[in-house]
Structure 1
Amino acid sequence: MDVPTLVEQAREGRPRAVARLISLVEGASPHLREVMAALAPLAGNAYVVGLTGSPGVGKSTSTSALVSAYRRAGKRVGVLAVDPSSPFSGGALLGDRIRMSEHVCDPGVYIRSMATRGHLGGLAWSAPQAIRVLDAAGCEVILVETVGVGQSEVEIASQADTSVVLLAPGMGDGIQAAKAGILEIGDVYVVNKADRDGADATVRELNHMLGLGESRGPGAWRPPIVKTVAARGEGVDEVVEALEKHRAWMAENGVLTARRTARAAHEVETIAVTALRERIADLHGDRRLDALAERIVAGRLDPYAAADELVAGITGSG
Structure 2
Amino acid sequence: MVILDLVNRLLDGDKRACARAITKAENNEPGSIEILKEVYKKTGNAHIVGITGPPGGGKSTLTYRLSKELSDRGKKVGIIAIDPTSPFTGGSILGDRIRMNKLSTDPNVFIRSMGTRGHLGGLSKATHGAIKIFDAFGCDYIFVETVGVGQSEVDIVKTADTVVMIMVPGLGDDIQAIKAGIMEIADIFAINKSDLDGAERTAGEIKMMVEMGTVEKKPPILNVIASQNEGIKELLNEIDDHKKYLISSGELEERRLARLRLEIVNLIEEEIKSRIFNDKEIYNLLDNILKDVYNKDIDPYSAKDKLFNAII
Shorter-chain TM-score bucket reads: over 0.9
Residues 43-87 of structure 1 show CA distances to partners (whole Å, capped at 9, x for unaligned) of: 11100000000110100000001002212221111100111148x
- In the alignment, what sits opposite 1:109? 109
Gaps of 5+ in 1: none
1:305 counterpart (298, 302, 307): 302
What secondary structure does 1:287 align onto?
helix
Match of 2:179 in 1: 178
> Does residue 77 of structure 2 align to residue 81 of structure 1?
no
% identity of equivalent residues: 40
What one-letter code is carried by the residue in structure 2 that aligns with 1:71?
S
Distance 1:85 1:92 in 2: 9
Q: Are positions 1:249 and 2:250 aligned together?
A: no
Structure 2 CA distance for aligned equivalents of residues 84 and 294 of structure 1: 37
TM-score by length of 1: 0.91
1:106-185 mapped onto 2 (5 Å cutoff): 106-172=106-172, 173-179=174-180, 181-185=181-185
From 243, 260, 265, give the equivalent of 2:256.
260
How far is 1:24 from its partner? 0.4
Question: Given that residues 97 and 104 in structure 1 are in contact (C-alpha distance below 8 angstroms), is that contact kept between their aligned partners in structure 2?
Answer: no
2:73 corresponds to which letter in structure 1? A
Distance 1:98 1:149 in 2: 24
Q: Distance in 1 between matches of 2:74 and 2:177?
A: 37
Q: Provide the aligned C-alpha RMSD in A.
A: 2.0
Task: Give 1:167 deviation, angstroms.
Answer: 0.4
Per-residue deviation, 1:97? 5.6
**Distance in 1 separating the partners of 2:177 and 2:97:** 31
Select the residue among 289, 293, 304 that pairs with 2:290. Answer: 293
CA contact (8 A) 2:171 2:202 kept: no
Whole-angstrom CA distance in 1 between matches of 2:153 and 2:286: 35
Once the two structures are superposed, the pairs formed by residues 5-44 of structure 1 within 5 Å of their partners are: 5-44=5-44
CA-CA distance at 1:284 after TM superposition: 6.4
Q: Residue 236 of structure 1 aligns with which residue?
A: 232
Q: What is the letter of the counterpart of residue 49 of structure 1?
A: V
CA deviation digits over 1:166-219, x for unaligned, max 9? Answer: 00001334223314x211100000000000100000000000111122x24xxx
Query: Which residues of structure 2 form unaligned runs of 5+?
Result: none
Q: Against the structure 1 CA distance between its residues 306 and 61, is the aligned structure 2 distance closer, same or farther, given a 3 Å change threshold?
A: same
- 1:206 to 1:117, Cα distance in 2 relative to 1, 3 A: same
On the 8 A contact 1:84/1:93 being kept in 2, the answer is no
Is 1:314 aligned with 2:299?
Answer: no
One-letter amino acid of the counterpart of residue 306, structure 2: E
Distance 2:31 2:251 in 1: 33
Q: Judging changes above 3 Å, is the alpha-carbon distance between structure 1 residues 149 and 242 closer, same or farther for their aligned structure 2 residues?
A: closer
Deviation at 1:274, TM superposition (A): 1.5
What is the CA–CA distance in structure 1 between the aligned matches of 2:294 and 2:242, rounded to whole Å?
56
Q: 1:251 to 1:142 in 2, by over 3 A?
A: same
**Do the aligned partners of residues 27 and 57 (structure 1) sit closer, same or farther apart at CA in structure 2, a change above 3 Å counting?**
same
TM-score (norm 2): 0.92
